Structure 1
Amino acid sequence: METGLRNKRVVITGATAGIGRGIAHCFAREGAQLAICARNEAPLQQVRQECVELGGQTTALLADMTRADDIDRFVAASREALGGIDVLVNCVGGVDQLLPFEALSDDDWQQMWELNVMSAVRMTRAVLPIMKPNGWGRIINIASESGIQPDPFMPHYNAAKAALITFTKSMSKALADDGILVNAVSPAMTRNDDVDAFISQRAAADGSSLKEAEQTLLREMRPNIVLGRPGEPEEVGAAVVFLASEQASFITGTNLRADGGSVASI
């Protein structure tokens, strides 16, 4: 399938691990020009090199997406490096620990909101003056199954991802006349270093194989994934590339569930 993404200028936040890394790899294979960011230099440069080897010219910049001034600097530097911005992927996000509601402080809620919602709000605000004059653009927000089918373990994360999905729908309507399509992708549990480490720890504790420990984890935490395994980062990346492509030119305001069948609703 011809995606039309060769030499498109793609900005990706949170690109150095897990889903973000998989997304960066997928765009690099399409020959896109990338600007990626993270807070830590070593993994950032590692992913930059991987993307270059896959065929994508890549600029790597340090930035903390919870800081408004870092966001402005990152967008300005990306524009200068790439000559413009065609595609924005708001991937930075996540949750550090699973805590019940009673254990969450106001600071926990605020930090979750800043990382998962305000980072996307500020990045979108910053790129619009660059995208709008072109009459073409793509904004893709990485949400989560938790924003649709929340569990009891992390209410602050669930609420933030639900807000991100709603923000996506609102912006799709606001930007339609500018030729900018706005969509979300909601993964289920997806393999990353933390998931792999948890599986390894569980296998060691239970005296089981990694595969057995993975299945135990899925039964306990994500029994609704009908495919019976975690997703792979580049499976999510493929969904993002599709939404950024010319093939998705009549899709906007959609929340594409790359969830292995996890969400029970139609």
Structure 2
Amino acid sequence: MDLNIKGKVAVITGGDSGLGLATAKLLAAEGVHIVLSDIDQDSLDEAAKEVSSVAADIKVLALACDLGKNESVLELAAKVQSELGGANIVINCAGARGAAGDFLTLTDEDWQQTIDIDLLGAVRVCRAFIPQLQQKGWGRLVLVASENAYQPYEEESPYNACKAGIINLSKCLSRAYSKEGLLINCISPAYIETPMTDAMMDELAKEKGTSKEEAVQWFLKNKRPHMAVGRRGKAEEVAAVIAFLSSEQASFVNGSNYRVDGGAVESAF
């Protein structure tokens, strides 16, 4: 399917690995110029090499940014504007599991740290880049939520709340800016093979004294029993949905949330 977005400029936060990097490669193959952003410049530079190898006729920029600092996000937006003339597509993949544990043990600082990246980070990105999309008169903005927004897990209360907020934020923004040619949606992945879930599985394997693969199987059976496909998802499987939502083909999709969860969420709604 031709996504009809050749020559567009896409900004992808969390672009050095996982969902962000997989999405960047798909969009690069469609002829989209790519701006990869994350906090570590070295990992971004390596990711940029991978993306550049996908297509020869695109521009790929690797720009470090700390979503926890508004001035850093504004600097990122200014660089995209000056070097590529502004963004057409913005995909916010950056996030962290944040503080986890029994609710009564989590402090204000634990909550604030998670909120600052997983919710306010998205707010800062939207606030900085929506003016560029308005300037273009055509835009796609995709925010990454999580299955946790629908089916919260008791040990991840800050993350749960932030991801529910992301879905609400995307709906709010879709109502505010669709008349200006901007389509804003979000996706809710579940238990995908990313550095974040790899770290969780490494920790679980150490805790249980098992291999990582045994930890994955234990987690599927005990923590994600409704995942009908019976495995972790692949970053490319989520990226395919993000790429569609970033395209001209999604011209009648606005304010929606796509669950890419292998059936992990038990309810129908």
TM-score of the aligned structures, taking structure 1 as reference length: 0.93
3-state SS of 2:91 partner: strand
Task: Report the residue type matching 1:87 in the other structure.
Answer: I
Query: What is aligned with 2:50?
Result: 50
- 1:6 CA drift (Å): 1.5
* 1:67-106 equivalent positions in 2, closer than 5 A: 67-106=69-108
For residue 136 of structure 2, the aligned residue among 134, 155, 158 is 134
Task: Describe the SS at the equivalent of 2:168.
Answer: helix
How far the C-alpha of 1:133 sits from its partner, in A, is: 2.7
Question: How big is the shift at 1:210?
Answer: 5.4
For the residues of structure 1 that align with 2:74 and 2:29, how far apart are their CA atoms?
Answer: 28
Q: Following the alignment from structure 1 to structure 2, what is the Cα–Cα distance between the partners of residues 103 and 82?
A: 46
Deviating more after overlay: 189-198 vs 45-54: 189-198
1:161 aligns with 2:163: yes
- Output the TM-score relative to the length of structure 2: 0.93
Deviation at 1:13, TM superposition (A): 0.7
> Residue 172 of structure 1 contacts residue 181 of structure 1 at CA under 8 Å; is this kept in 2?
yes
Quick check: 56-65 or 243-252, which moved more?
56-65
Q: State the shift of 1:195 in Å.
A: 3.1
Identity of aligned residues (%): 36
CA contact (8 A) 1:35 1:82 kept: no
Where structure 1 has 5 or more consecutive residues not aligned to the other structure, the ranges are none
Q: Considering only aligned residues, what root-mean-square deviation do their CA atoms show, in Å?
A: 1.8
**Aligned with 1:35: secondary structure?**
strand
Q: Deviation at 1:12? A: 0.7
Aligned length: 266
Residue 235 of structure 1: which of 231, 234, 237 is its match?
237
Could you tell me which residue of structure 2 aligns to residue 220 of structure 1?
222
The residue type equivalent to 1:83 in the other structure is G
- Pairwise CA distance, 1:20: 1.7
Cα displacement (A) at 1:194: 4.3
Q: Which residue of 1 aligns with 2:111?
A: 109
| 1:38-93 CA distance string (max 9 Å, x none) | 11121110111101001242101111011000000001101222222100111111
Distance in 1 separating the partners of 2:255 and 2:198: 33
Equivalent position of 2:30 in the other structure: 30
Cα 1:220–1:98 change in 2 (3 A) is farther
Q: Which moved more, 1:146-155 or 1:20-29?
A: 20-29
**1:24 Cα deviation from its structure 2 partner:** 1.7
- Measure, in 1, the Cα distance between the counterparts of 2:140 and 2:199: 34
User: SS of 2:37's equivalent?
Assistant: strand
Q: Mark the CA change 1:105 to 1:211 in structure 2 (over 3 Å): closer, same or farther.
A: closer
Give the C-alpha shift of residue 206 in structure 1: 6.6
Q: Could you say what secondary structure the match of 1:61 adopts? A: strand
Q: Corresponding residue for 2:21?
A: 21
SS in 2 for 1:175: helix
- 1:119 alignment partner, one of 114, 121, 124: 121
1:12 alignment partner, SS class: strand
Q: What letter corresponds to residue 3 of structure 2 in structure 1?
A: T
Answer yes or no: is the 8 Å Cα contact 2:99–2:106 preserved in 1. Answer: no
When residues 133 and 100 of structure 1 are mapped into structure 2, their CA distance, relative to the original with a 3 A threshold, is same
